[in-house]
Amino acid sequence: MRGEIGMCAALVAVLVAAGLAGGQAAGVDVTISPASPGSKPNAFHASVDDLKTHGFVEQEYFIAGNVDGKGKPDDAVSSQAYKTRLLVRRPIDPKRFNGTVVVEWLNVVLGYDLELGWPMFGDEMMRDGYGWVGISAQPVGIDYLMKWDPQRYGSLMHPAGTAPPSQPATSRFIENYSDAIFTQTAMALRRPGPIDPLGGSRAQRVLAFGSAGAAIRLKPYINNLVAGRGPYDGYFVHATAGGGKLRENLDVPVFYLNSEWEIPAYFAIRQPDSQFFRYWEVPGSGHIARHSEDTLIRQSDRDGQGDVWSRNCDFEQAVMSIEYASRAALHHLNEWVKTGKEPPHAPLARMDTSTTQPTLVRDQYRNALGGVRLPSLDVPTGRHVGEGTPRDNRVCSLTGGYEQFDLATLTSLYPRHAAYVSGVEQAAERAVKAGYLLPADAKAIRVEAGRSDIGKKPGER
């Protein structure tokens, strides 16, 4: 296992080979500047969390430079100018910074930037002092920003070609340069110039994160890396069955985590764990995590995207949360990069392969078996639905759902409240021991179980 020293040496090799010294950022020829004030009171999809209470601050910056890409129509390598934005969240006190920055490739599935990572593991990041940077890497997101607040974002630009009008809105650009922008962002964060997005905190490790559509972009990015030469120390590929397989000769840590929603589609290309690859499956969870859905609802309401997350579904909002496993995965990836300690392996979800289309094996309550087991699945109070219905309602399909057991079933499973709480505590302890759940999250789950009414008699407090 290559340690941090080897990775840093590899980075130096990249900088020297690429000839990117100079410019405002010491490691790459880019300019970083504070974002311009705009007509709107906040940055687009600024955090809805109370960051200050947690000792964190959010700031927005612009990053500009030149990037190489395949220029159309002649496929010649060309250098083009770009300017995009970085949304940064970090500890106010540099002493609280743990040395790791997570750069999230913002998702653009709805035609504008969506943060799916921070809502899932923001609590863990604020607890442990991570830095987080959301990068508007794709032209669709930049195009929306420029229209949303021209005063603030009017100077942004992405050197993308234009796709035929027949393409869907989110595919109307030919993206030749997004990967290069993503690369330059990591390099600039490592060796900033006079204007430092991290407020003077030195980035010792830079991790890449992408979820769903952004993860589909992240997979070829990883596959195209030159051996031993990458701007990121580790990669977190989250919730996608698209983009094909990752290359087998990985030499940088990659953590891959799927929800129940992706498991059947990904089944045919499952890859075994290796020295630099770890794969987890989390049955019972939806494609978009519960906390991500809650955050996106609040951001969309505030920033004027309309009621795009309206629920008219056959199931209640999901209870089974992939957040907890995602936080554990981030912790393990960081330790993997930092110390060389490999993350724990996890059993895969059980699949029935007797039919043409493999399906998940389920218990008598229709909950999926196998995979990473969290307390809400091991000590169920209802049916956890990975893909909600109706399927033609994107919100219902992507966010999953929950259907609580009837009273008779709950009473048979948990005749006393203490029995339910004890079951949750034991399941949480098993999950912590296996590495699927962080101790702080286990504590929160135990508290939530204690406050619930499961197993209580009428009038019991």
DSSP sequence for 365-401: TS-B-BSS--HHHHS-SEEEESS-S-TTSHHHHHH-E
Res 175: pLDDT: 79
Domain count, the chain: 1
Q: Which pair of structure tokens corresponds to residue 96?
A: 């609280």
* pLDDT at 229 exceeding the cut of 70: no
- One-letter amino acid for residue 335 of the chain: E
Q: What is the mean pLDDT of residues 321-342?
A: 96
Q: What is the pLDDT of residues 152-185, one digit of tens each?
A: 999 999 998 777 777 776 677 877 799 999 999 9
Res 11: pLDDT: 37
Res 71: pLDDT: 59
- Pick the closest to residue 206 from 198, 215, 214 (CA basis): 198
Strands (E) across 129-247 are located at: 131-135, 161-162, 173-174, 205-211, 234-238
Res 377: pLDDT: 95
* pLDDT at 35 exceeding the cut of 50: yes
Q: What region does 360 belong to: left with phi over 0, alpha with psi -120 to 50, or beta?
A: beta
CA distances from 8 to 26, 55, 289, 320, 439 (A): 15, 29, 33, 39, 31
Q: CB within 8 A of 12, min separation 6: which ones?
A: none
Q: What is the pLDDT of residues 188-212, one digit of tens each?
A: 999 998 999 999 999 999 999 999 9
Position 322 in a domain: no
Q: Terminus-to-terminus CA distance in the chain, angstroms?
A: 53
* pLDDT at 39 exceeding the cut of 70: yes
Gap between the Cα atoms of 440 and 95, Å rounded = 21
* 309 pLDDT tier (thresholds 50, 70, 90): confident
Domain span at residue 11 reads 4-252
Q: Indicate the SS3 state at residue 360.
A: strand
Res 72: pLDDT: 55
At residue 393's C-alpha, the angle toward residues 401 and 211, to 5°, is: 70
Q: What is the pLDDT of residues 353-378, one digit of tens each?
A: 998 899 999 999 999 999 999 999 99
* pLDDT at 459 exceeding the cut of 80: no
Position 209 in a domain: yes
* 270 pLDDT tier (thresholds 50, 70, 90): very high
Gap between the Cα atoms of 287 and 239, Å rounded = 6
Cβ atoms of residues 405 and 411 within 8 Å: no
Q: At what angle do helices 323-339 and 439-451 cross, to 10 degrees?
A: 160
* pLDDT at 16 exceeding the cut of 60: no
Res 143: pLDDT: 95
Res 303: pLDDT: 96
Position 159 in a domain: yes
Q: What is the pLDDT of residues 311-326, one digit of tens each?
A: 889 999 998 889 999 9
Res 15: pLDDT: 34
Position 194 in a domain: yes
- Pick the closest to residue 423 from 455, 383, 379 (CA basis): 379
- One-letter amino acid for residue 336 of the chain: W
Q: What region does 179 belong to: left with phi over 0, alpha with psi -120 to 50, or beta?
A: alpha
Position 390 in a domain: no
Cβ atoms of residues 209 and 102 within 8 Å: yes
Position 231 in a domain: yes
% of residues, the chain, pLDDT over 90: 79
Please report, to the nearest 10 degrees, the dihedral formed by the alpha carbons of residues 365, 369, 371, 372 taken in order.
30
Its pTM surpasses 0.85? yes
Q: What is the mean pLDDT of residues 252-256?
A: 97
Position 223 in a domain: yes
Position 413 in a domain: no
Q: Indicate the SS3 state at residue 75.
A: coil
* pLDDT at 435 exceeding the cut of 80: yes
Q: What is the mean pLDDT of residues 384-413?
A: 94
CA distances from 326 to 56, 58, 117, 241, 323 (A): 21, 22, 9, 17, 5
* pLDDT at 21 exceeding the cut of 70: no
Q: What is the DSSP letter of 318?
A: P
